[in-house]
Structure 1
Amino acid sequence: MSRWMITILFLVGSAILTNWIPFSSFFRNVDTMVHELGHAVTTLVLSGQVLYIELYSNHSGVTYSYIERGWRTIPLGLSGYITASLFAAFLFSLYGKGKLKAGFIAMTLLAVVSLAFFVNNSFGVMWLIGFMIVNVIAMLVPFEWFRKFYYLLVSFICLEESVMGPIHLILLSVTRPGQAGDASSLSRATHIPAIVWAVLFLVIALLCARKAIAAFVGRNRSGRTRSSRWESQA
């Protein structure tokens, strides 16, 4: 079976299974947090000014900022979805290397930075505090199976959201091209149709998902091999 088919099957299976897990909706804002942080950091790198970020209970978010018009609006528009896709792949890369603690720390630090410098609406603040508390508890629980389950739950949800976001954007680009979020912003800045940018986001998301699933499958195969060797030696 090709890697692309495996990736698609994992994404579909993950989307089905995680929706059955109680409270999984809580973790879907991790992708939103990373997406908006991508916009915020890019704004600062491009010498703009970030006013604040708002995170909402429907898993959407918005970054309010000032930036000089012109070419700077292009990397700013690209940064949200691409950052979210890269972060999902990053979490799986750490899992593949057996560095779950580093992944926990990375997620928690991003939440701390968001809370300390950017997010100011009531839901966003409460969600960030809750996420940090849950993250620390999960990291300190003395059961490896639970830490792994929690880490993979958050990672797979981030991966799903990083792919589903561009798919939703493609649909909006067809039905309401002026309201397709970052794709519409990029379209206004470049005069390239919003759907082109939405498809670009999806391609990047799928490439990152392919890398993520390869790391996940590779880690599990490696683990089974080591276990088999240990049992034969015993």
Structure 2
Amino acid sequence: MSTLTKWAPAVLALVLVASPGVWRYSRHVITIAHEAGHALVALLTGRRLEGIKLNSDTSGVTVSRGRPTGLAVVLMYFAGYVTPSLLGLGAAALVTSEQVRPLLWATVVLLAGMLVMIRNAFGVLSVVLTGGVMFAVSWYATTEWQASFALFVTWFLLLGGVRPVGELQRRRRRGRAPQSDADQLARITRVPGLMWVMLFAVVTIGTLLVGGRMLLPL
């Protein structure tokens, strides 16, 4: 890979995350990962997943049935904000192992599985467009372009996983997020919502540092 193809993906991802005007659109991808995290953990912990909605304002909701308290529901609520970063870390491991095409195809398969549970038109459109781009790159792009795109996706997940945590706390401070994941966790566990936000931050920033350290030698 040339120097440009090594660094351009990271710079582009940073622009998409740091620019307010662009972030309002690119954030939809992070929302998809966020809700996918809720859904996957709900299934893995034995809860009954009923559906996922992705909204045009970049919010989302995952509905599942099961006990309202306990470890399963705590893990489900916790998963949302950390999933994009953890997916980015997994992607970094695959990219550094030169497993670019398996990474792209795994993403397509996960999005296809998620599509089955989407319950609104905008959500279907978001997932189909995202999956379509991933499929097109994996099928038609050259090996070098696939590698560059995989790097971009990885950096975007790592960087994009951090910003929503700060946005969450700003909304909470203004009293605009009474039903946030952190506040739901606070009601279930009696641990203050701010502590959960701080834990989200530790995980997302930590994965950015670890994933970035893995990618920088490239």
TM-score tier, shorter chain, comes to 0.7 to 0.9
Q: In the alignment, residue 75 of structure 2 is paired with which amino acid? A: P
**AA matched with 2:69:** G
Work out the CA distance in 2 between the residues paired with 1:56 and 1:196.
Answer: 27
Contact 2:39/2:62 (<8 A) preserved = yes
Residues 100-151 of structure 1: CA deviation (Å, up to 9, x unaligned): 11210121111100012x1121011122222222111111234333223322
With over 3 angstroms needed to count, the CA separation of the structure-2 counterparts of 1:23 and 1:144, relative to structure 1, is farther
Q: What is the match of residue 49 of structure 1?
A: 48
Matching residue of 1:217: 216
1:89 alignment partner in structure 2? 89
Q: Report the secondary structure of 2:216's partner residue.
A: helix
Q: Any conservation in 2 of the 1:28–1:157 contact (CA below 8 Å)? A: no
Contact 2:10 2:151 in 1 (8 A): no
Q: Flag the structure with larger Rg.
A: 1
* Structure 2: gaps (5+ residues): 1-8
**What do you get for the CA RMSD once the two structures are aligned?**
2.7
TM-score (norm 2): 0.84
1:29-68 paired onto structure 2 within 5 Å = 29-68=28-67
2:6 counterpart residue number: none
- Equivalent residue for 1:225? none
Q: Report the equivalent of 1:162.
A: 161
Q: Tell me the SS of whatever aligns to 2:50.
A: strand
Matches within 5 A, 1:129-208: 129-176=128-175, 179=178, 181-208=180-207
2:130 is paired with a residue whose SS is: helix
| Superposed structure 1 runs of 4+ greater than 3 Å apart | 10-14, 17-20, 22-28
Structure 1: any 5+ residue segments left out of the alignment? 1-9, 221-234
CA-CA distance at 1:80 after TM superposition: 1.3
TM-score scaled by structure 1?
A: 0.78
Amino acid across the alignment from 1:99: Q
Equivalent residue pairs, number? 208
Q: How far apart, CA to CA, are the structure 1 residues paired with 2:179 and 2:194?
A: 9
Match of 2:4 in 1: none
8 Å CA contact 1:173–1:180 kept in 2: the answer is no
Structure 1 pair 13–202 and aligned structure 2 pair: CA distance change class (3 A): farther
Distance of 2:151 and 2:12 partners within structure 1: 14
Query: What residue is the counterpart of 1:228 in the other structure?
Result: none
1:109 aligned residue? 109
Change in 2 beyond 3 A, CA 1:165/1:178: closer
